[in-house]
Amino acid sequence: MFLPAEIIAKKRDGETLSPAEIGAFIEGVVSGAVKPEQAAAFAMAVYFQNMDMDERVALTLAMRDSGEVLNWDELDGPVIDKHSTGGVGDNVSLMLAPIWAACGAYVPMISGRGLGHTGGTLDKFDAIPGYQTSVDNALFRKVVAEAGCAIVGQTSNLAPADKILYAIRDVTATVDNISLITGSILSKKLAAGLDALVLDVKVGSGAFMKSADEAKALAESLVQVANGAGVRTSALISDMNQPLASAAGNALEVRNAVQFLTGEHRGANLEQVVLELAAHGLIHGGLSANLDAARQKAQDVLDNGRAAEQFGKMISGLGGPTDFMSRAEHYLPKAKIIRDVTLGQSGYVTEINAKQVGMGVVILGGGRKAPGDPLDYAVGFDQLAPLGQMIEQDTPIARLHATNEALADEAEERLKAAYSLGDAPQTPPLFYGVIEQN
């Protein structure tokens, strides 16, 4: 007989749970046989006692199998996806998915919304008129097959156990646990029926992981569990001590992505992160033999316009304008107030508190203080000065986009406080390591 209290007590006492016990518990979470207070007690027991890698694999697979698991056997190429742990100005998915599609992969990317200082991929696409982030399975599959990629939100029947458990963890102070984070992230990704996965684990002032050691521990857990679940996976640990793109804000980051794909403007750091993630995905998907060849393949589809073409197909396929790539400025919302932000002093940019830049976007209305808050898609910052840049007294550190003068003033002060100047340029490393399967 299945007794949830026995499983809770076993984990509370630091014992190892079997795959059958974990599977039964997660099945009970979805069916209602496990009550919310029991699920909360289980999460707290895991929080304090943690799980070994075998338990984490079992938890991830049980959560994956709690709903529909997609199958793409009809496609003639590898199915690849990427997950980022979140940051500021992180619009990598917008370029990475069409690059992979242009190289012969298929990318059914199930993304999320932003909360707090980090931007959400779906919120960026909501800035595009007509684009549907919530679609039925038939349209999702059609666009993946025809455009090579589709970036949409999680459906109710993909990993429903994660939705239930995450809501409980959110109100019981049990979100911050590597075992539970691993299961939550990977169950949704693996339910998409992937052959390969690349992870971008962020570290720094704008990331949830503040130290390289924390980021490495999470990356190792994710890579080992995903490979243990049968999906070829590696993780890059990348810097988030400054916004990755030169823009932060939904429509502004979409515009930045269009400029990147068309070759109008590509920030050096952003291009390097995109190409490195793309290369690892192409290798895992069997589309390139080594990293140098993979980087070149990704660069080629950027430069010849094929990646931009795939992006345009995805947008029109999901309800957006058919001419978006050539007329993005016409379609994307614009703020009433656009003005430069200057510091009134000279020096090299030596530090940027990326979290505070993100909170500036929230103040302007471009991010959420609570789930369900409406967004102003036009607001944010662009032309953000990067670390190491020389700033004169009248050199702007950014351009601010707002719809309200009072909010603009508050966000401007937040942005100014986020920047520090010094006598010599200082730039952190862009990557802190790559985690491969042992």
Residue bearing the bigger pLDDT, 117 or 70: 70
Total Cβ atoms within 10 A of residue 409 = 13
Tens of pLDDT, residue by residue over 249-262, are 999 999 999 999 99
Tens of pLDDT, residue by residue over 373-429, are 889 999 999 999 999 999 999 999 999 999 999 999 999 999 999 999 999 988 889
Question: Class assignment of domain 80-327?
Answer: alpha beta
The pLDDT value given to residue 2: 86
Active site residues: 81-84, 121, 169, 184, 188-189
Amino acid letter for position 168 = I
pLDDT at 231 exceeding the cut of 70: yes
Domain limits of the chain?
Answer: 4-49, 80-327, 334-422
What is the residue-wise DSSP string for 107-129? EEEEE---BTTB--HHHHHTTST
Beta bridge partners of 400: 339, 381
Tens of pLDDT, residue by residue over 109-126, are 998 877 667 778 999 999
**What average pLDDT does range 191-195 have in this prediction?**
95
Tens of pLDDT, residue by residue over 322-339, are 999 999 999 999 999 999
User: Same topology for domains 4-49 and 334-422, yes or no?
Assistant: no
pLDDT category of residue 438 using cuts at 50, 70 and 90: low
Kindly report the CATH number that applies to the domain delimited by 4-49. 1.20.970.10
CA atoms of 307 and 37, how far apart (whole Å): 48
Total Cβ atoms within 10 A of residue 257 = 24
CATH architecture observed for domain 334-422: Alpha-Beta Complex (3.90)
Tens of pLDDT, residue by residue over 195-227, are 999 999 999 988 878 889 999 999 999 999 999
Tens of pLDDT, residue by residue over 137-178, are 899 999 999 999 999 988 778 899 998 998 899 889 898 899
CA atoms of 253 and 272, how far apart (whole Å): 17
In the chain, what's the furthest Cα-to-Cα distance?
73
Beta bridge partners of 152: 110
Cβ-count burial 77-110 (b if 16+ within 10 Å, e if not) = bbbbbbbbbbbbbbbbbbbbbbbbbbbbbbbbbb
Predicted TM-score of the model (pTM): 0.94
Residue with structure tokens 């993780």? 235
